[in-house]
Copies of this chain bind each other. A is one copy, B any other.
C-alpha cells in the first residue's frame, strides 16, 4: 500500500532517526572552572543517555553546528514501537477512539506494523521520550533537563510538500482515498485542525464579503443596523457549524474521544507522592486547596500583565494621536513615523515579555495534564493579543470620538498649536482599515519574507563567524572528544539536512491560531464600521493558507503530530469575541447613528442600554440557533452509531454463543 511505502521511505530517508534532541551546554561561565563545567556537562549527558537506554531507545551523539551544542539522534527499534503501539491501541479501544479492533472471535486483530503511519510513529516515539517514568517513558523535557534545549522530529524530504497541508483536508472530504495520505502528514494534530479551520472559515467568509461589498456601495458613510444584526447571526451560526464540523473531522480522522486520554505532564511534580487509589502507583500529589489558591493568585498576576500591556498600547495610541492630530511643532514630519515604529517593533517586544510572564504564572499554577496547561495558557496569551489587536479601536470608538473634543480647550490653554478637526466615526474606520490591511501585510512580511531572507543570508554569516572564532579556541569539550566523524557521501548529506533543520525556528501553532482568531474578531466585531473587512480578510486568507503551508515545510522545524480532537480552547476565545460583537455592534449602531447627538450627556447611559438589549438578543439567538442545528442530523452521528451497532452485534453474538 502507499501508506506502507510512505512510512518505510521516511524511515529510510532519515536514516532511522526519529527525533533529534538538542543538547546545549555552557562553554563559559564566570566563577566556574572549565573542569567543573565539563564534569557538569558530562553528568547531564550521561543522565540523558541513561534515561534513553532504560526505555530501550537507540541513540547516537553528533556534534552540533555551533559551539556548545550536541545533537542526540534518537531512533526507536521496531519491537519497542510495537509494544507502544499495542498499548495505545488498547487504550484507544477502551476510550472509544477506535472500535474496529474487535474481531468476532473476541481477540484483538493483530497489528500490522506496515500500517503504522509516519505521524503515528512520531507521536509514539515522542510519547516514549517525554512521558513520566511511571508511565513507561524516559521523562525527558526541556523544562526538567537543564541541558535539553528541545526535542524535534526531522522533516520528510520526499513528502513535505505544502500542497498536502493547504489542500489535504478538502480533498480528503471529497475523495476518501486521500484521507490516508493527509493523515500520514499531520494526522489528528492541532495543525490539521488549523488548516481545516482556515479552509472552512475562508468559505464561510464569502457570505459577509458579498453582502459587505453591497452594503459598502449602498451606505457609503453610515452604519447599517441591519448589517450589524446580520453579522451577529452569521458569527453565531458559523461558530456552531464549525463545532459540528470539528466533530465530523474527528470521526473522519479517527480521533473521536482521544481527548479523554489525559496524559500527565512530566513537569507536574507535586508536593509529594500519594499512592493512587485506582492503580496503586505512586503518583505526584497536590492538595486541591493549594491549586485553587494558586489559580486565584494568578488572576491578579495576569491582570498586572494586562494593565502593563494596556498602558503600552494606550501610550502608543495617544502618542500617535497627539502627533498626528494635535502636534504641529518642530520635527513633526519625522515624529509622525514614531508610533508606526512603535506598533511594528515596540509592541511585539512587550507582548513577548507578557507571554514569558504568563508562562511563568501558568507553570506555577500546577496543571496536571497538558490539555489543562494548554487551555489556560491559550486564554492568557489571547488576552495580550486581544489588547494589541483591539484596544486602540475601543479607545477610538468609545473614548476618543465621543470625548475627544473636550481636550481642545486644554490644548489652547497650554498654547499648543494644533490642526485638529472634529472627528466622526470615519476616524474609527481609518483605524480599522490600518489594522486589517496594514497589519496583515506586516504579518505576512514577518512570517514569510523575513525568514526567507534569513535563510538565504544566515549560512553566509555563519561561515564568516566560524572563520573568526575557530582560529582562537582550543577545547577538550565532549564535542571535540567525539571528534568530527569521517562522513561518507549519504551520511554527510543527511547530517547537512539535520544541521539545516536544527537551525530553523520551532513551529509555533499559537501564532497561527491567534492571527486567525484576532482576524475573526475584526470581522465579527467591526464589520459594521467598514463593511469590506470580510472581503479583505478573505483575500488575506487565500494567501495565508498557502504561505502557512510553505512555512511549515520550509521555514520551521517539523511540528510534533500530537493528536487533538478539535481546535480546542481557541473556539472558546472565538465565542468570547462573538459575545463582545454584540456589545460593539450595539454601541456603534447607537453612537454613530445619524439621529444620535454624540455629545449629549445622556449618550453614555443610552449606549449602555443599547448594549444591554443587544447582549440579551445575542444569548437568545444562540440558544435558538443551537437548538435548530441540533435537530439537523449529522453524518458523523450516523458513522458513530454504525460503529456502536457493530460492536453491539459482536457482543450480542458472543453472549448468545456462551
Chain A positions 619-658 with a Cβ under 8 Å from a chain B Cβ: 627-628, 631-633, 638, 641-642, 644-645, 647-648, 651-652, 654-655, 658
Chain A 273-292, CB-CB to B under 8 Å as 1, else 0, gives 00001110000000010011
Contact of A605 among B107, B605, B647, B652 (CB under 8 A): B605
CB–CB A106/B106 < 8 A: yes
* Chain B residues closer than 8 Å to A655, beta-carbon distance: 86, 90, 107-108
- Cβ-based interface call for A295 (8 A): yes
- A612 contacts chain B at the CB level, 8 A cutoff: yes
User: Any chain B CB within 8 A of the CB of A408?
Assistant: no
With both beta carbons as reference points, the residue of chain B lying nearest to A299 in the complex is identified as B624
Report if A437 contacts B (CB, 8 A): no
Give A499 to B460 CA distance when docked, in angstroms.
101
How far apart are the CA atoms of A278 and B636 in the complex, in Å? 12
Q: A278, B641: Cβ atoms under 8 Å?
A: yes
The residues of B that contact A341 with a CB separation of less than 8 Å are none
Whether A628 touches B90, Cβ cut-off 8 Å, given contacts A278-B641, A608-B609, A641-B278, is no
Q: Is the CB of A631 within 8 A of B86?
A: no
Given contact pairs A648-B94, A655-B90, A628 touches B292 in the complex (Cβ within 8 A): yes
Which residues of B lie under 8 Å from residue A642 when comparing CB positions?
277-278
Q: Are A632 and B278 in contact (CB under 8 A)?
A: no
Residue A542 lies at the interface, judged by CB distance under 8 Å to chain B: no
Q: Does A93 touch B at the CB level, under 8 Å?
A: yes
Q: Which of B90, B106, B627, B652 contacts A90 (CB 8 A)?
A: B652
**A291 proximity list for chain B (CB < 8 A):** 631
Report the bound CA distance from A652 to B632 in whole Å.
Answer: 39
Contacts of A279 in B (CB 8 A): 645
Grouping DSSP codes into helix (H, G, I), strand (E, B) and loop, the A interface class, with mixed when no group exceeds half, is helix
With A86-B655, A277-B642, A645-B278 known as contacts, the answer to whether A631 contacts B94 (CB < 8 A) is no
Q: With a CB–CB cut-off of 8 A, which chain B residues contact A295?
A: 627-628, 631
Question: Copies of this chain, how many?
Answer: 2
Q: Count of chain A residues with Cβ under 8 Å from any Cβ of B?
A: 37
Q: A277 with B106: in contact, given A612-B608, A628-B292, A651-B90 (CB under 8 Å)?
A: no
Residues in B whose Cβ lies below 8 Å from that of A647: 94
Given A278-B645, A291-B631, A642-B277, A651-B612 contact (CB < 8 Å)? no
A94 contacts B651, C-beta separation under 8 Å: yes
* Across-interface contacts of A278 in B (CB, < 8 A): 638, 641-642, 645
Residues on B with beta carbons closer than 8 Å to the beta carbon of A612: 608, 611-612
Separation of A50 and B108 alpha carbons in the complex (Å): 45
Specify the chain B residue showing the minimal Cβ separation from A602: B605
> Of the candidates B106, B288, B652, B658, which one forms a contact with A633 in the assembled complex, judged by CB atoms under 8 Å apart?
B288
A648 near B90 with CB under 8 A, answer: yes
How distant is the Cα of A107 from the Cα of B91 in the complex, in angstroms?
Answer: 20
A652 to B89, CA, bound (A): 10
- Shortest Cβ gap from A89 to chain B (Å): 9
Shortest beta-carbon distance, A583 to chain B, in Å? 11
Are A631 and B288 in contact (CB-based, < 8 A)? Answer: yes
A552 to chain B, nearest CB (A): 34
1/0 per position for A330-365, CB-CB distance to B under 8 A? 000000000000000000000000000000000000
Residues of A578-602 contacting chain B, CB below 8 A? none
Q: How far is the CA of A642 from the CA of B277 in the complex (A)?
A: 8
Output the least CB separation between A437 and chain B (Å): 34
Contacts of A277 in B (CB 8 A): 638, 642
A-B contact pairs, 25 of them (CB 8 A): A86-B655, A90-B648, A90-B651, A90-B652, A91-B648, A93-B651, A94-B644, A94-B647, A94-B648, A94-B651, A107-B654, A277-B638, A278-B638, A278-B645, A279-B645, A288-B632, A288-B633, A292-B631, A292-B632, A295-B627, A295-B628, A295-B631, A608-B612, A609-B609, A612-B612
Given contacts A90-B648, A605-B609, 5 further A-B contacts (CB under 8 A): A90-B651, A94-B644, A107-B658, A279-B645, A292-B628
